[in-house]
């Protein structure tokens, strides 16, 4: 029996560690939307899906052709097909917040080849809290977002804070962590590795949010 877009979408959500309820919230529909799908999705909702998952293979999702993602975690990018971006000389700690120097000059950065377009920087991940999705030593390719316009809840992000840089999946505060008795606003940071409990980050301590577009284990520099 031919696989449907509904079945492929469910596979994609599992691969991205996103529940159907979380996905429905991004799409602006009820949690029963996917279960009720019969054929496909309207163009405006497909656009939301591709904005939410920029590394998904559009032909795969719509027609079942090719691989799910445009680049896997184990691929080494081809220089002839890659996109050169600065490699930040700091590490995103997949574990806890760490101190780091903020005086980064882009002209002094090593250059790294991204396998996908639309990327601002490359950054190395350290630690095992984001495994199995991102392994220790992987390079993440990230893009700065306008957090005042839209925050992709349930998506892995590199979070630049006054205490350091950390990579986590972010959610609205209060989903699984008790909020402190404080007037401050927070976001909730979660790991893929269940050995690491979620924690809160005060929004006033955040300098910037960077969406993880893709990650690789091997990479090329120039």
pLDDT tens for each residue of 8-47: 999 988 887 778 887 887 788 888 888 888 777 888 888 8
Q: In this structure, are residues 113 and 86 in contact, taking their beta carbons and an 8 Å threshold? A: no
CB atoms within 10 A of CB 174: 11
β-strands 121-126, 83-93 pairing: parallel
Mean pLDDT over all residues of the chain?
78
Whats the size of the chain, residue-wise?
A: 222
- Which residue segments constitute the domains of the chain, with CATH numbers given? 5-63 (1.10.260), 83-216 (2.10.109.10)
Q: How confident is the model at residue 191 (pLDDT cuts 50, 70, 90)?
A: very high
- Residue 2 pLDDT level (bands cut at 50, 70, 90): low
CA distances from 215 to 2, 66, 82, 204 (A): 31, 19, 14, 28
User: CB burial class (10 A; 0-12, 13-18, 19+) of residue 204?
Assistant: exposed
According to the model, what pLDDT value does residue 98 have?
A: 39
pTM of the predicted model over 0.85: no
Mean pLDDT of 64-74: 70
Q: Give the rounded percent of residues in the chain with a pLDDT score beyond 90.
A: 14
- Strand, helix or coil for residue 149: coil
pLDDT at 80 > cutoff 60: no
- Interatomic CA distance for residues 87 and 81, integer angstroms: 18
Specify the pairing of strand 110-114 against strand 164-172.
unpaired
The two beta strands, 186-190 and 164-172, are antiparallel
Q: Is 7 helix (H, G, I), strand (E, B) or coil?
A: helix
The pLDDT confidence band at residue 181, using thresholds 50, 70 and 90, is: low
- The pLDDT of 95-113, averaged and rounded, is 54
């Amino acid at each position: 029996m031919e696989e449907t877009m509904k079945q492929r979408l469910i596979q994609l959500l599992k691969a991205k560690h996103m529940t159907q309820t979380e996905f429905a919230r991004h799409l602006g529909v009820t949690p029963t939307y996917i279960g009720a799908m019969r054929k496909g999705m309207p163009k405006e909702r497909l656009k939301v899906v591709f904005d939410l998952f920029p590394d998904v293979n559009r032909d795969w999702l719509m027609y079942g052709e090719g691989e799910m993602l445009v680049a896997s975690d184990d691929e080494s990018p081809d220089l002839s097909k890659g996109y050169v971006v600065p490699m930040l000389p700091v590490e995103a700690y997949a574990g806890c917040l760490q101190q780091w120097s903020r005086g980064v000059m882009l002209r002094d950065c090593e250059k790294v080849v991204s396998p996908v377009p639309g990327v601002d920087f490359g950054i190395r991940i350290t630690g095992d809290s984001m495994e199995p999705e991102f392994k220790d030593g992987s390079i993440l390719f990230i893009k700065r977002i306008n957090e005042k316009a839209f925050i992709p809840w349930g998506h892995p992000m590199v979070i630049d804070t006054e205490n350091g840089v950390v990579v986590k999946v972010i959610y609205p505060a209060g989903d699984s962590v008790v909020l402190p008795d404080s007037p401050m606003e927070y976001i909730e940071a979660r790991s893929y590795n269940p050995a690491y409990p979620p924690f809160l980050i005060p929004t006033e301590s955040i300098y910037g949010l960077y969406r993880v577009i893709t990650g690789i284990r091997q990479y090329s520099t120039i």
